């Protein structure tokens, strides 16, 4: 294959333009092939044209580092290089890409062995995962940008192609997200302690499972069994307390009914708090694909602030803004890498805990988190909403829709069964742009509970 590649680099300019940026000297085995490749690359870089055999022989002749024997060997090899014009260009590019991938992996493994043997002066054992990751990521990306005037057909087709999304089972959540969570995105739920961040995510995970989706739920706050307990209560329509009273036979029958209604899978994985980050999750995804043939359609991470960063370490003179932003960027990068939506959550600040009209400024630890997220919403509860069995959702950031469309709305909540459901349309009449209200305008008994207390300046002079 090395001879085929070198021969094509002499004769096919279109092939040269496609593959030369991805070829490297260390992909070739013999020193003679490396010399030939380097001379070709230098000629193309300098003259923006494909060299002839004569031009290459002259370049080799001017190389003062070669002795007589090496010079004759390289000249003979150049003369023997052939190009078969019957080979399809696409086939040749595809085989060259596979050649580069195989060589990159081979070189990475060799270098890793050198590191393990202590023969590398520059790298330590911590660099091995990155070496292998870079090698596995080798591919020919021939796209060099979107031509606005020439690529109108592709753009029009994009506008009229329905995007594949992971839907909610809540009507208004689908409405504000234009059909659900987009792939390659990071969504964040903002709420105070005990409001329902985990409840929201476990409900969504259960709903996605019943839609036939593969779901991965990563928890660092609660045990795997506790998360499974909440999903059991949701799917089996049994209260948390009654789950413990079910006989084994009754429990198995309920689970079998759920199994018969879906083709999806739900995997729950627990990590110790603040000990796992995007690198661990990437390894988990690769392990699941290899060992269980499982690729998730959506990932839930409970929750972002207690993840670890793969780039920055706690206590290394890194402030919380930089650390949390780094974690958010890494998780969003993971979503792009595996082409899935990721949903996580974050806590409110101390002042946001008592605020019944959350804003982005109530995000704890780092404002870099809402800057990175694609979709962010607040979950708001109060005594009035609890009495009504409702939970308020407020849009905070939305790259898929208009924040003015259903900026605030309420959904029903059954905490005993860990369920959410669409509230009746009449319930939305109590919510307006200035915030939620309880009561009736007719009897002047409107009690706003969304606004922070403001000081009175009556009598001030």
CATH number for the domain that contains residue 75: 1.10.860.10
Alpha helices in 315-424 (DSSP H): 320-338, 350-353, 368-372, 383-388
My answer on whether 225 and 353 are in the same domain is yes
Per the domain annotation, does 395 fall within a domain? no
Same-domain check for residues 125 and 177: no
Domains in the chain: how many in total? 2
In a shared domain, residues 70 and 181: no
Both 106 and 183 in one domain: the answer is no
Q: What is the rounded distance in angstroms from the CA atom of residue 257 to the CA atom of residue 14?
A: 59
> Are 166 and 181 spatial neighbours (Cβ–Cβ below 8 Å)?
yes
Q: Which of 342, 327, 329 is nearest to 296 (CA)?
A: 342
Do 177 and 127 share a domain, yes or no? no
The answer to whether 355 and 452 are in contact (CB under 8 A) is yes
Lowest mean pLDDT across 105-114, 122-131, 326-335, 376-385: 122-131
Instruction: Note whether 42 and 189 are same-domain residues.
Output: no
Is 169 a member of any domain?
yes
Q: Please indicate, yes or no, whether residues 175 and 115 belong to a single structural domain of this protein.
A: no
pLDDT digits (tens, 9 = 90+) for 58-90: 888 888 888 888 888 888 888 888 888 888 888
C-alpha pair distances (Å), 285 with each of 267, 288, 298, 311, 326: 11, 5, 12, 19, 20
Q: Quick one: 23 and 83 in the same domain?
A: yes
Quick check: is 442 in a domain? no
Q: Which of 90, 120, 136 is the last residue of a domain?
A: 136
Domain for residue 65, yes or no? yes
Which domain covers residue 313, as residue numbers?
165-378
Q: Which residues contact 240 (CB under 8 A, 6 or more apart)?
A: 229, 230, 233, 416, 417, 418
Neighbours of 345 (CB within 10 A): 23
**Where is the domain boundary, 378, 395, 426?**
378
Buried-state track 113-135, b at ≥16 Cβ within 10 A, e below 16: eebeeeeeeeeeeeebeebbeeb
| Helix, coil or strand: residue 103 | helix
Tell me, yes or no, whether 126 and 172 share the same domain. Answer: no
Q: Which of 378, 394, 415 is the last residue of a domain?
A: 378
Q: What is the pLDDT of residues 313-363, one digit of tens each?
A: 766 677 888 889 999 999 999 999 999 999 999 999 877 777 778 888 888
Residue 156 forms part of a structural domain: no
Query: Is the same domain home to 59 and 106?
Result: yes
CATH number of the structural domain spanning residue 208: 3.40.50.300
Alpha helices, DSSP H, located in 48-151: 53-61, 68-80, 89-116, 128-136
Task: Note the pLDDT tens digit of each residue in 407-443.
Answer: 999 999 999 999 999 998 888 876 755 554 544 333 3
């Amino acid at each position: 294959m090395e001879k085929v590649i070198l021969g094509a680099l002499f004769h096919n300019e279109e092939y040269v333009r496609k593959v030369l940026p991805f070829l490297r000297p260390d992909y070739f085995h013999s020193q003679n092939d490396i010399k030939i490749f380097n001379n070709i690359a230098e000629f193309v870089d300098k003259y923006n044209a494909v060299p002839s055999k004569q031009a290459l022989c002259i370049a080799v002749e001017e190389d003062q580092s070669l002795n007589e024997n090496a010079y004759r060997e390289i000249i003979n090899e150049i003369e023997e290089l052939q190009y078969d014009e019957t080979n399809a260009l696409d086939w040749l590019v595809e085989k060259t890409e596979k050649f580069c991938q195989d060589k990159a992996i081979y070189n990475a493994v060799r270098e890793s062995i050198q590191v393990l043997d202590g023969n590398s002066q520059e790298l330590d054992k911590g660099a091995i995962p990155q070496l292998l990751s870079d090698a596995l990521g080798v591919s020919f990306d021939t796209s060099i940008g979107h031509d606005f005037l020439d690529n109108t057909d592709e753009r029009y087709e994009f506008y009229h192609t329905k995007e594949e999304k992971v839907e909610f089972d809540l009507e208004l959540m689908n409405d504000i997200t234009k059909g659900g969570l987009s792939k390659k995105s990071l969504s964040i739920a903002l709420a105070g302690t005990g409001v329902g961040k985990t409840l929201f995510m476990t409900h969504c995970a259960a709903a996605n499972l019943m839609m036939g989706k593969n779901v991965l739920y990563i928890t660092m706050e609660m045990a795997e069994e506790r998360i499974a307990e909440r999903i059991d209560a949701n799917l089996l329509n049994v209260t948390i307390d009654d789950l413990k009273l079910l006989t084994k036979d009754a429990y198995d029958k309920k689970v079998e009914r759920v199994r018969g209604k879906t083709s999806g899978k739900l995997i729950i994985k627990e990590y110790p708090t603040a000990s796992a980050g995007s690198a661990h999750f990437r390894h988990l995804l690769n392990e699941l694909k290899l060992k269980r043939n499982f690729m998730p359609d959506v990932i839930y991470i409970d929750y972002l602030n207690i993840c670890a960063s793969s780039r920055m370490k706690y206590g290394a003179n890194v402030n919380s803004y930089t650390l949390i932003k780094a974690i958010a960027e890494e998780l969003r990068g993971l979503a792009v890498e595996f082409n899935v939506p990721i949903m996580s959550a974050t806590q409110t600040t101390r002042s946001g805990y008592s605020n019944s009209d959350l804003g982005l400024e109530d995000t704890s630890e780092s404002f870099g988190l809402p800057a990175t997220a694609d979709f962010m919403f607040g979950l708001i509860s109060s005594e009035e909403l609890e009495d009504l069995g409702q939970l308020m959702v407020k849009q905070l950031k939305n790259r898929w829709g208009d924040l003015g469309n259903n900026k605030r709305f309420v959904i029903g909540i059954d905490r005993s069964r860990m369920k959410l459901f669409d509230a009746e349309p009449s319930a939305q009449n109590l919510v307006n742009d200035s915030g939620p209200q309880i009561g009736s305008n007719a009897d002047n008994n409107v009690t706003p509970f969304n606004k922070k207390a403001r000081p009175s300046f009556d009598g001030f002079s």
